[in-house]
């Protein structure tokens, strides 16, 4: 009996993988007869709160590594937050508080301390961009406020 005829489909992009999947590249070991193998691993479907699907992750885009991006649970790449810790704001024209060095993101991440007491966001002070407006306290010239926040 003769050997069956086989097709070699190694290291090919055709046939195309089904939508949402990707081709896997195999190297031939030059065995005889050669075998045609197709594999389509599932793409990762990120978790948006209801669970995700295990699979291959999307590749980072150009420059993502240099930007320090990380893969989030929802399957997207994102730059981690930066932090400002113990940023000192010295009041030079009371009761105006000097602007922060960065815009807090989210705004509620701002932890503001005046005379050693933590002030409550949206209760004791408001925030618009980098501008802090006191609501329930009145800082004086020379007062130091300390701010911690993500941006």
Domain boundaries, the chain: 83-150
> CA 56, CA 71: separation in Å to the nearest integer?
12
> CA 61, CA 76: separation in Å to the nearest integer?
10
pTM of the model: 0.56
> CA 58, CA 73: separation in Å to the nearest integer?
12
Return per-residue pLDDT of the chain as tens, 151 residues: 455 444 555 445 556 666 666 666 555 566 666 565 556 666 777 776 777 666 777 788 888 877 888 888 878 888 888 999 999 999 999 899 999 999 999 999 999 999 999 999 999 999 999 999 999 999 999 999 999 999 9
């Amino acid at each position: 009996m003769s050997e069956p005829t086989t097709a070699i489909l190694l290291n090919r992009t055709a046939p195309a993988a089904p939508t949402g999947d990707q081709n896997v590249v195999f190297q031939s070991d030059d065995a005889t007869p050669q075998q045609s193998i197709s594999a389509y691993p599932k793409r990762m479907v990120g978790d948006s709160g209801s669970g995700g699907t295990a699979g291959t992750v999307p590749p980072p885009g150009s420059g993502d590594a240099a930007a320090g991006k990380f893969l989030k649970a929802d399957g997207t790449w994102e730059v981690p937050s930066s932090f400002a810790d113990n940023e000192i704001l010295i009041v030079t024209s009371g009761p105006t508080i000097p602007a922060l060095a960065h815009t807090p993101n989210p705004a509620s991440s701002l932890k503001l301390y005046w005379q050693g007491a933590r002030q409550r966001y949206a209760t004791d002070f408001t925030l618009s961009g980098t501008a802090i407006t006191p609501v329930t306290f009145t800082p004086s010239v020379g007062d130091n406020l300390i701010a911690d926040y993500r941006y």
